[in-house]
Chains A and B, each alone.
Chain A
Amino acid sequence: MSSAREDILDAVRRAQGRGSRDAPTRATLDARITTPVRHLRPAFDEDLTARFIRKLESRSGTIARVDGRAGIPAAVEIFRSAHGLAPRAAVGAGLKDIDWPADWTIHHDRAGIAESLSVSPAFAGIAETGTLMLLASPESPTTHNFVPDNQVIILETTRILRHFEDAWAALRKRTGGMPRAVNLVSGPSRTADIEQTIQLGAHGPRRLHVVLVDSA
């Protein structure tokens, strides 16, 4: 019995009245994969950072802006105390170098079921839609992005890119290729499944707070 794989590929070819593509055609198609076709992108002339902030806020994200990495702990502390959260956080190991307040309980493991606050580093921001790009790794575990009720993301202002395609280009340049998970996050979790009414905090974080770091 032939395999399902061969049967399906055969059926696809037969439906188009042909056999396998010949070598030159295959080479052309492969080149289209290695050198992506550039499509039309939404044009805008707004400042990238201003747009990123405007778009993210329009989707219920909040933003704090600090000068240099030294300002990060204070910004996270303001967010934490404003929402009355316990001084405990799952912090991506990519942010190990930060001087977190001494009275906090910090760990760099994945987020467990009782986790209420996570802090993770973003790989890039995308101005087009106010979207954050997070890459799965021990430095930024994926559970941090979905399990806790409160998600804080650290983003360097210089990492704000114009379009999604610019973020893909940055990914392609990175060593190690495609990460296991790429999470594009554009706000806190939401649903409109009951009577089309938007409700935040469906399954993922109820709050998304971004600390934008300007280089000092």
Chain B
Amino acid sequence: MDIRSREFQPRAVAALHDASLQQALDKARDGFVAKRAVQVAELSEFEALRETAKTLKDHVLDHLDHYLERYEAAVVAAGGQVHWARDDAEARRIILDICKRVDARTVTKGKSMVSEEIGLNTALIDAGLTVVETDLGEYIIQLAGEAPSHIIAPAVHKTREQVSDLFEKAHGGPRLTEIADLVDAARLALRERYFQADVGITGGNFLIAETGSSLIVTNEGNGDLTQTLARVHIVTAGIERVVPTLDDATLFLRLLARSATGQETETYTTLSTGPRRAGDLDGPEEYHVVLVDNGRSRMLAGPFRQMLRCIRCGACMNHCPVYGSIGGHAYGWVYPGPMGSVLTPLIKGLDAAYDLPNACTLNGRCASVCPVKIPLPDLLRRLRHEQFKQAITTLRRRRALAAWRLLATRPKLYHAFERLAARALAAIGGRAGRIRRLPGAGGWTEGRDLPAPPGRTFLERWQTERGQS
């Protein structure tokens, strides 16, 4: 997928003025947060599990090469094939080659963020293949010609009216407006596709070294139909997805369902181990896993390795006030919200995603809900620092920061400036004590008033009050 993160600011502004988007975001926000809260409250072990999950992921990352080798050996022993892709282009080539070799025409897909990351759909379509997204959310945005706006609810930005319009255009009338009818229409449209498919592509939430299995979780069952009915099953997964054992995967599953959709478990959890066996009546004839690096091994060195603990649950974006206001598309690439603001610059370059680490209030909610305890605000702060060091920060911002440093490191000057500012703002605020328009802060005062300070600085008041006591 092409990156458009440089357009973050205009796209964020457009998102704030998009009435349908705001309506869709309003509906989504509270649902996710409330459902998760209920599940977390019901599991007294939740906090302890988070800590264990963090430690376990760190252990795996420390020994990632070994566990990948063990996983590969187990896949091969079960009759599957493992392919390694250094970057997105190599991953696309591997998958295209498999499709060509088996003479594929139709490819069905379960939800896979890695496939978005490597820009797979465009490559397959350019090669003349018919690509059918089967997750309902993905199907909706495929009809709309859009990218996912959320990592677990790709069409969360669409209202029901918009889905009705899309379906009417794609399937013909009559126009359906009930959710049940819309779901049924998609079910019907996709049914034959599953059976026609030559290749079925899914993601992999976890790769299990013990058994050589890939694991997916879905609620719809689309991933299972995709991988069971196609002649060839291809799994795409990042190299950080490997875990040692089934028991280890279980630890993460307990956290994943609660953090992602606010359920105790998703409806379907499926482990796939190799292709169809002798005597089997169904299942794919070939089973492939494409292990994608695409910047991950680079992340392993240094502070950003913590980001590789991410299990793609989406809780950080569900709890992010910035994401909640602008949705996922403004972020301009595959991964939105706090995790995307860290990942995008790391995978696509600090320059290409300049605004993302800065579009954060450092309120810390994301880190407090992250099931693997990734200190997202710290990582965002570090990215800002890196941008400054590499002189990617804009000149205007660099000057402002330089001016700030000049003040902040000279207490006398700072206090003098502060006294001046407090009095000036109080004067502007007038009797109402509110500032309607402030030069240089038009964006802030456009939608609300700035309460004016009382005319004396905190320090001045502190000194007076302490003097009194």
Q: Are A4 and B210 in contact (CB under 8 A)?
A: no
Q: In the complex where A33-B245, A129-B264 touch, is A202 in contact with B66 (Cβ < 8 A)? A: no
Min C-beta distance of A5 to chain B, whole Å: 4
Residue from the list B45, B265, B280 in contact with A129, Cβ < 8 A: B265
Contact A183 B90 (CB under 8 A): no
B220 and A190 within 8 A (CB): yes
CB contacts under 8 Å to A, within B328-367, are none
B 244-270 binary contact with A (CB < 8 Å = 1; else 0) = 111110110110000001001111111
In the assembled complex, the CB of B134 is this many whole angstroms from the nearest CB of chain A, namely 7
In whole angstroms, how far apart are the Cα atoms of A30 and B261 in the complex? 34
Size category of the binding interface on chain B: 35 or more
Contact in complex: A137, B280 (CB < 8 Å): yes
Interface membership of B151, Cβ < 8 A: no
Q: A38 CA to B248 CA in the complex, in Å?
A: 8
Known interface pairs A12-B64, A21-B66, A179-B273; A136-B280 also in contact (CB < 8 Å)? yes
Query: Does chain A have a CB within 8 A of B449?
Result: no
Q: Which of B119-127, B180-188, B395-403 contacts A (4 or more CB under 8 A)?
A: B180-188
Contact A165 B250 (CB under 8 A): yes
Q: For the complex, is A67 an interface residue (Cβ under 8 Å from B)? A: no
Q: Considering the complex, give the chain B residue whose CB is closest to the CB of A188.
A: B267
Bound Cα distance from A193 to B219, whole angstroms: 10
Indicate if A29 sits at the interface (CB-CB under 8 A).
Answer: yes
Stretch at the interface among B297-305, B380-388, B424-432, B458-466: B297-305
User: What is the CA–CA distance of A142 and B277 in the complex, to the nearest angstrom?
Assistant: 12
Do B187 and A202 touch (CB < 8 A)?
yes
Q: Are the C-beta atoms of B265 and A186 separated by less than 8 Å? A: yes
Q: List the B side residues contacting A191 at CB < 8 Å.
A: 136, 183, 219-220
In the bound complex, residues from chain B placing their C-beta under 8 Å from that of A14 are 301
Chain B min CB distance to A39 (Å) = 5
List residues 162-216 of chain A with CB under 8 A from any CB of chain B: 163-165, 168, 171, 177-197, 199, 201-205
**Cα–Cα, bound, A149→B334 (Å):** 34
Interface code A104-144, partner B: CB below 8 Å = 1, 0 otherwise? 00000110010000000000000001010000111001110
Find out whether the CB atom of B210 lies under 8 angstroms from the CB atom of A36: yes
Partner of B84 from A4, A163, A188 at Cβ < 8 Å: A4
B-facing mask of A76-102, CB < 8 A → 1, else 0? 000000000000000000000000000
Contact A183 B265 (CB under 8 A): no
Interface residues of A in 54-70 (CB under 8 A from B): 55, 59
Q: Which residues of chain B (222-236) have a CB below 8 Å from chain A?
A: 222, 224-225, 228-229
Contact B86 A4 (CB under 8 A): yes
Q: A33-B209, A141-B280, A143-B228 are in contact. Are A195 and B270 (CB under 8 A)?
A: no
Q: State A7–B179 Cα separation when bound (angstroms).
A: 49
Which A residues touch B154, using CB under 8 A? 193
Say whether, besides A182-B270, A203-B190, A138 and B245 are in contact (CB < 8 Å): no
> Which residues of chain B have C-beta atoms less than 8 A from A171's C-beta?
246
B298 contacts A15, C-beta separation under 8 Å: yes
Q: A8-B291, A21-B65, A191-B183 are in contact. Are A181 and B248 (CB under 8 A)?
A: no
The yes or no answer to B191 lying at the interface (CB within 8 A) is yes
**In the bound complex, what is the Cα–Cα distance between A190 and B135 (angstroms)?**
11
The reply to whether B244 and A113 contact each other, CB–CB distance below 8 Å, is no
Residues in B whose Cβ lies below 8 Å from that of A20: 65
Cβ contact of B160, chosen from A5, A189, A194, cutoff 8 A: A194
Q: Is the CB of B45 within 8 A of A40?
A: yes
Cβ contacts under 8 Å, A181 to chain B: 228, 270-273, 283
A-B contacts, 5 listed (Cβ < 8 Å): A12-B68, A25-B63, A168-B250, A181-B272, A182-B270
* Partner-A contacts on B (CB < 8 A): 24, 27-28, 31-32, 43-45, 48-49, 52, 56, 62-70, 78, 83-86, 90, 134-137, 140, 153-156, 158-160, 163, 179-180, 182-184, 186-187, 190-192, 195, 209-213, 219-222, 224-225, 228-229, 239, 244-248, 250-251, 253-254, 261, 264-277, 279-283, 291, 293, 297-301, 305
- Closest CB pairs A-B (n = 10): A204-B221, A202-B220, A15-B300, A11-B297, A15-B301, A193-B137, A36-B245, A184-B269, A36-B247, A193-B136
Given A36-B246, A180-B274, A204-B268, 18 new contacts (CB under 8 A): A8-B291, A9-B69, A20-B65, A29-B67, A33-B245, A38-B247, A42-B45, A43-B44, A113-B191, A131-B269, A178-B213, A178-B273, A179-B273, A184-B265, A186-B265, A189-B268, A192-B219, A204-B225
